[in-house]
Structure 1
Amino acid sequence: MTSSPSSQVINQNFNCCSQSFHNNTKEVLLDKLSNTSTGFHDLTIAPKITYFYDRTTELNTLSHWLIDQNARLISVLGLSGIGKTTLVKQFVDLNLQHFDIIIWKNIKLSPSLDYILTEILTSINPDSILADNKLTQILNLFRDKKCLIILDDVQELMIKGQFAGHYQSEYRDYQTFFTMITETEHKSSLILISQEKCQEMISLDQELYPVQCLDLERLQDIEILRNYGLLEQENRSRLIELYEGNPAYLNLTEHSLIITESIKLRLNQIFERLSLIEQEILIELSQDNHPVSREQLRERLSLSSIDLINGLDSLNRRYLINIIQFDQILFSVSPVIREYIKVCCHQQK
């Protein structure tokens, strides 16, 4: 199999950097890890799970990818509040024994890649850090030990007000990092938790690139409402339908579709990330209680065909629209998004 030009450049740089890695430092680091029989786990900022609802299929999928296949880059994606972080934490709690090192980081708290790499290396052995070649040190660690690194809130690396998946200029080094994770031989894994999908999260050829993507769909388990003490049995399914099985919304409501201040704040943060084109499309889609076609949207909106296509694609990458395949492709938004836009538009008038 012929390596891609980018792979060759990365591998050449990696091999060059590897030669400059101090063997003594590496030996000290690995000796410390080998003396830790239970492994090294830094889950200080990982969430504590109060309830965990039926995600058995998703847990099995993660286990297959991470333990059986040794996938190097996995993204867990979905709308805010759908349970991405909870799912990953549940997997970690159940599978501590399969990894030598597990470290959980949140981009909101420390967005700099250099800072995150320094924290990871320092937490394992503060005496082993070299000022240069931290990527090389991390990849050497990934090759010698089975590590699991979780990066939460990866959407914070992306530019607000543009289509989904475009890195802010100061965080483009993450692209190199993610590429090296997939194209360099090692036995470790990186999990990205995000509200929007970037190109690095998409596997064009799973045989060539060990990248997997788990799109988290809504919960169907009515136990979530029973635990919140909500309604009689016959009304629970209706609430799940209205709120699209999103735990972050279901624990704040009562008898019907209501946009609480907490839900509004969560959706405000999502809406602020959108480009003007996406906002325009989303507002138009919210005018209908039924799905509409791209042609119908084109007739209603003063957008070029390319802007409409890109806007719909970006909204799909953010999990804000539903795509329905009948005789033609149709688009719709959830009842929560529709009601939120109506409430916001009413308040602005």
Structure 2
Amino acid sequence: MTITEVLQFADRLVFTQTGKHLDDIQETVIKGVWQGKTYSVMADECNHSESRVRDVGYKLWQILSEQLGEDVNKSNFCATIERLKNSYSPNASQVVCIGNNNSFNVCPLKRKNDSSSNKGDEIDLTKKSQYDLTLAPKITHFYDRTPQLQTLSHWITTQNPRLISVLGLSGIGKTTLVKQFIDSNLQQFDLIIWKSIKLSPSLDNIITDIFTLINYEPIQTENKLTQLFNLFRQQRCLIILDDVQELFTSGQFAGQYKTETKNYKTFLSKITELEHQSTVILISQEQCQEMTCLDEELYPVKCLELPGLVDTEILKALGLKDEESWSKLIELYEGNPAYLKDIANLIKNIFFGKADEFVRQETLHLTEDMKFRLSELWERLTPVEQQILLELSKFNQPTSREELRQSLSLSSTDFINGLQSLNKRYLLKPIEGEKTAFNLSPVFREYMRYLSPKLIVV
């Protein structure tokens, strides 16, 4: 049994008892106990006092003891978990089950010998709400996304879309938004499972994990999709796929599937075509073809494009001074939470938190973390897209399509396809007017200028 499985099992017990998932210190305690560490070592690892870690551990053992109906403490935790493989919990309404991959679940108990209930009253294991949010982030701060949360909630509550894309640049807050929605709406679904394509790209494995979560009989390998859509019809499921851009090939125009991930194309198409009561949420930096080809008025699909933050509350929480300069910072870094956190740390370390001194430098500084994020985007582009961006970075103002076209030695087809692909990646800002114009974000323009001396464009 792995530490991940132990954490997942403990998380479900704690959530059942408290309605909250394990926090960082609780996770540290469980990992530490499982690995035989002392509270002192755990305290050093999580930068808290030993007394604080001991107190969290004491309360955690109380929660687990109440859920399992027996005394659980630091000394017997490991032995208790090992013993509970395939055994009944003293809590009469639950059983601790081991799934097909040795993962633990707390499931409702079928009381086959209970004379007070007839066969028709038995609880179906597949009807119990089940959640696997192991790969979902923990939300410590959430800022200024009320309109987007309301939109997402309205869609799912009243319109039952089968496929939703949450789109935007890296660091803009897509994953945080979806997790915040889930934390407030767990009760709406029979099953919720969160998967990251970056960590688990195989659709076959994801489907297997879904059925393992509900302790379903081993599924037939030849018709997994059919069984999955049967489940989607019978129960209200919410499947979140994060990092969906990882399905697509680098060096090709946006949304082109890798050879090994083309089965997702069939899966996502069937999501919109077949009748069922479930929803799949895609979190991505690129639009997938299955979404861009469909009219939201005619198909059960929705697309939520995430803008930058406008509220200065995030900078207040990050401990900056000179509130009158915060709006300028947000404008410079386009409200991207990841960029703002990076630059706030720099301001605290180099300018003692004085935002005004930083702004007066009149320089848009790129941290190493920003450069890393932007380099990942750059490496996904085609040579055509790279040429367009490098040329556009030479202009300090929006540039018309005609002017940009004349300054590039590209065919009309490559030029138009490149613009469309960059738009799908949220790297271009089309500006409507007498003539269509395009602009780069200040951050990406600065990155292009940093990068251009290092490149030889053919």
TM-score range, shorter chain: 0.7 to 0.9
- Which residue does the alignment assign to 2:410? 303
- Which residue does the alignment assign to 2:281? 191
| 1:204 CA drift (Å) | 2.9
CA distance in 1, matches of 2:179, 2:367: 27
- Among 379, 390, 397, the residue aligned to 1:272: 379
- Which residue does the alignment assign to 1:31? 124
Superposed CA deviations along residues 175-212 of structure 1, whole A, max 9, x for unmatched, are 11011111111100000000001221236333432011
Q: Quick check: which has more Rg, 1 or 2?
A: 2
What does 1:56-71 correspond to in 2, within 5 Å? Answer: 56-71=146-161
| 1:231 CA drift (Å) | 3.8
- Which residue does the alignment assign to 2:326? 236
CA distance in 2, matches of 1:207, 1:286: 37
**TM-score, scaled to structure 2:** 0.67
| 1:126 CA drift (Å) | 5.1
Q: Which amino acid aligns with 2:391?
A: E
Contact kept? 2:247, 2:261, Cα under 8 Å: yes
Contact kept? 2:126, 2:216, Cα under 8 Å: no
- Which residue does the alignment assign to 1:3? none
CA distance in 1, matches of 2:219, 2:437: 53
Q: Which stretch shifts more, 251-260 or 293-302?
A: 251-260
Q: Which stretch shifts more, 302-311 or 271-280?
A: 302-311
1:103 aligns with 2:193: yes
Superposed CA deviations along residues 241-294 of structure 1, whole A, max 9, x for unmatched, are 111110010011132421111100110000000000000101111111100011
1:249 aligns with 2:339: yes
CA distance in 2, matches of 1:208, 1:179: 14
- Which residue does the alignment assign to 2:391? 284
1:216 aligns with 2:306: yes
Tell which has more relative contact order, 1 or 2 (C-alpha 8 A, sep 6+): 1
CA distance in 2, matches of 1:336, 1:143: 45
CA distance in 1, matches of 2:274, 2:151: 23
Contact kept? 2:163, 2:279, Cα under 8 Å: yes
Number of aligned residue pairs: give it. Answer: 317
- Among 251, 254, 257, the residue aligned to 1:167: 257
Superposed CA deviations along residues 89-136 of structure 1, whole A, max 9, x for unmatched, are 000001001111110000011111111111111122153422221101
| 1:51 CA drift (Å) | 1.1
- Which residue does the alignment assign to 1:158? 248
- Among 178, 182, 204, the residue aligned to 1:92: 182
CA distance in 1, matches of 2:216, 2:274: 25
- Give the fraction of aligned pairs with identical amino acids, expressed as a percent: 60
Q: Which amino acid aligns with 1:224?
A: I
Contact kept? 2:130, 2:213, Cα under 8 Å: no
Contact kept? 1:122, 1:129, Cα under 8 Å: no
Q: Which amino acid aligns with 2:260?
A: E
Q: Which amino acid aligns with 2:443?
A: V
What does 1:82-161 correspond to in 2, within 5 Å? Answer: 82-125=172-215, 127-161=217-251
- Which residue does the alignment assign to 1:259? 366
Superposed CA deviations along residues 278-323 of structure 1, whole A, max 9, x for unmatched, are 0010111111110001111111110111211111111010000111
CA RMSD of aligned residues (A): 1.4
Contact kept? 1:203, 1:209, Cα under 8 Å: no
Q: 1:308 to 1:179 in 2, by over 3 A?
A: same
- Which residue does the alignment assign to 2:419? 312
Q: Which amino acid aligns with 1:32?
A: L
CA distance in 1, matches of 2:385, 2:451: 16
Q: Which stretch shifts more, 147-156 or 128-137?
A: 128-137
CA distance in 2, matches of 1:194, 1:84: 8
CA distance in 1, matches of 2:447, 2:454: 11
Q: 1:337 to 1:206 in 2, by over 3 A?
A: closer
CA distance in 1, matches of 2:164, 2:309: 21
Q: Which amino acid aligns with 1:154?
A: V
- Which residue does the alignment assign to 2:65? none
- Which residue does the alignment assign to 1:16? none
**TM-score, scaled to structure 1:** 0.88
SS in 2 for 1:252: helix
- Among 440, 443, 446, the residue aligned to 1:336: 443
| 1:50 CA drift (Å) | 1.4
